[in-house]
Every structure is written in C-alpha cells, then in structure tokens.
Amino acid sequence: MSGRSVFVHGPSLEDYGFGEGHPFDPIRLRMTVDLCEATGLLGGHELIEPDPATESDLLTVHSLTYVRLVQEASLGGGVAADLRPYGIGSTDNPVTPHVHDACARVAGAVLAACRMVMRGETEHALCISGGLHHAMRSRASGFCFYNDAGVAIARMKGEHPGIRIAYVDTDAHHGDGVQWMFYEDPDVLTVSMHESGRYLFPGTGGVEERGRNGGIGYSVNAPLEPYTDDGSWISCFDALVPEVLRAFGPDIIISQNGCDGHALDPLTHLSATTHLYEHVPQAIHDLAQELCGGRWVATGGGGYDIWRVVPRAWTALWAAVSHQELPEKVPESWSSEWGSRSPVKLPYLMRDDPADYPAVDRAREIADRNRRTTESVLERVMPLIS
C-alpha cells in the first residue's frame, strides 16, 4: 500500500476537552474534519477510529500512581490523595467526566497510526486529536493528561528494537513532556521550535537543553523571539531541521503540528500565517521520503483561534499528508454551516492574504536574533548526533 495516507479520527476522539470557556475546545477537530470533507480532500480516504490505549500502554511512560489518580478523578467519586502535585484539577487541567477514557483514546489513536505506518499498511498517517505534548510521567500539564507521542514512541521502541525515532515539534509551546521522557535516549531525537520560554509556558526549551548521559545531543531546541514571522521561522526551520534529521537518520518521523504560532492565536506572541503551516508539513513530508521510506505520523497540538486558523491549518496539513492540492477558497457550504456559530468573521480563502498581516516592528532584529540562536543550536548539537 505504498503511498497510501490514513486519517485517524472518529467521534470519540472529540470527547477530550474541558468544557465551555476553556481554550482547549474539541470543536476545532470537528470543524477541521468538516472542512477536509467540504474541500473534497477526504474523498477516497476512510476515517479510522482505533481502540483506546490500554493501561499497559500508558504505563510505558506514566507512573502507575498517576494513572490510577487520573482514573479515579475522572469517575467523579472523589480522591483521597492531594492531586495538586500531579497537576490534576488545575485551571489548565480541570477534571471532567471520563477524562481518562477520552485521553486514552487519543493516545491509542496516535499509537495505532504509528503501528500502521511501521507495518507498511500506509506511508503517512494523520491524527489531529494527538499532540498532547506537555503531559509528564506523573503530572498533567498544559491541557494534557496523557502524552500520546510518548506512549507511541515507547511502544515502537519495544516492538522494533533498535528503531530510531525523530520527533519534530513546531507548536508555539516547547514540547517539554516528550523531551523529558526521552532525555537520555540516543535513539529518540526530539526537535522543538517554539516561542522562547522566557515569555511563554512552560518556560523551558532553551538551547542548553541538549539531553543527558547517552542522550546528549539528541534533544534539540530552537527558542524563537516573540513576534517571529513566517520568513524568520521558515528560514530557521530550513537551516536546522533537515540538518539534524539527516545526521540522525530516523526510521520514522512523528511531527507535532500545533498552529498556535499564528498571529491570531490568543495565547502566544508569534506572528506566523498559514504560509508556515503549509511549508512545515511539506518539508517534513519530503524529509520522510528522503530519510525513512516515507514513514511519517503527523499529529495536531495547540491552536486556540479555533474558528479562523485551526481548521485551515490542519486541512493544509492533511493535504500534505495525502499528497493533494489545497484549494484556493473555503467552501461556501462550510462557511455557511459554521459562520452562524462563529463569534468572528470566517475567512473566505484557505490561505491568509499577506496584506492582512503587515510586517511586524523590529522584524529584521527579531530575524537576526533567531538566526544567531539557530546557529548556536547547530554548533552545540551537530558534533554529538550520529
């Protein structure tokens, strides 16, 4: 089935959310699937909804105590333990009914996507519900209870001894949970390009975070300045990501495609447009073809302008995953369906009009700082990756 692309999604994967008023709203998933359908990009592609991750799957990267506490809290019966050290029930990670089941389904979906790719059933797979990259071994964090990429990576390592996995994260927030889970592992390369932790949650992801012990050099971080635009971000991405992936030589690439670096996103301070969210998936697609027989699993991630940005960015992601051309205009049927519910005017073009996003102040200075950061990262890690 070489060349086939799979969209891993189903209604149960839209259950992971935290209620009205919380920024993490699963309606963005439904809007994306609907937009993919309206544009005709889902024609001939079956949506696949796999089984949830098992407790055994979750325990590959999470502690038993933590999983038990999430299970108990999500059933609503009360928990005797103090949950604050575990991040459970915080403002970012409120407890909602059956949150354990909902998040286990997301982890199971990403794991299934990876297994399909590794079995050769498909070259590429997309799971937009995945990308919950902040969850730690024993702590919920940043809207994430279980770390789907962490579970998938750990399982693949067990099922394919000697496998080399590259994880590439371009969410505006540092991919901290995945990094720390594999910080000492030279067979897992984690690459994160994000807004600098000096200004944004989770406050980590500096260039000095390079791994530890046998894994030194295999954690790669490029913190970007606030207000970084498409030109600077793409320039840094193109200078860094192909270089380190070619040096590493992965057997599969997992990408986290958060689109919260967009200029309209309410939670970050970056200035990207949809141009970035077409460039990055296409570049990763090409690297997968070049380096690992096309084996690529793409996930979603952050993205909090759920009306104007997320559906278009992740439809562009699916177009890259499925080798299809992105149409020029947003279908009127989609705009009509969702426009009455949207608090903002929906765009009529699939790509942002550059005229709507004038150049940011100090763009040249920002780009120069980002360039120096990227050069520093390469100098720090390239001698260590093999």
What residue type is 102 in one-letter code? A
CA torsion through residues 41, 149, 260, 320, sign: negative
Contact 233, 226 (CB under 8 A): no
Q: CA 21 → CA 18, 80, 130, 259, distances in Å?
A: 8, 28, 21, 20
The CA distance from 81 to 131, in Å, is 28
pTM of the complete model beyond 0.85:
yes
Domain assignment present for 386: no
The CA distance from 112 to 297, in Å, is 10
Active site residues: 134
Q: Determine the structural domain holding residue 237 and report its residue range.
A: 5-381
Count: domains in the chain: 1
Domain assignment present for 353: yes
Domain assignment present for 322: yes
Domain assignment present for 285: yes
Domain assignment present for 106: yes
Q: CA 336 → CA 131, 155, 311, 345, distances in Å?
A: 29, 43, 15, 11
Domain assignment present for 58: yes
**Residue in the block written with tokens 């502690």:** 63
Contact 221, 205 (CB under 8 A): yes
User: Radius of gyration of the chain from Cα atoms?
Assistant: 19
- The pLDDT profile of the chain, 386 residues, written as one tens digit per residue, is 346 999 999 999 999 999 889 999 999 999 999 999 999 999 989 899 999 999 999 999 999 999 999 999 998 866 667 898 999 999 999 999 999 999 999 999 999 999 999 999 999 999 999 999 999 999 999 999 999 999 999 999 999 999 999 999 999 999 999 999 999 999 999 999 999 999 999 999 999 999 999 999 999 999 999 999 999 999 999 999 999 999 999 999 999 999 999 999 999 999 999 999 999 999 999 999 999 999 999 999 999 999 999 999 999 999 999 999 999 999 999 999 999 999 999 999 999 998 899 888 899 999 999 999 999 999 999 999 98
Contact 141, 124 (CB under 8 A): no
Question: Cα–chain-centroid distance for residue 125?
Answer: 13
Domain assignment present for 123: yes
For the purposes of burial, counting CB atoms within 10 Å of the CB of 46, is it exposed (0-12), middle (13-18) or buried (19 or more)?
exposed
Bridge-based pairing state of the strands 5-8 and 219-224? unpaired
Question: Cα–chain-centroid distance for residue 48?
Answer: 19
What residue type is 273 in one-letter code? T
CATH of the domain at 316: 3.40.800.20
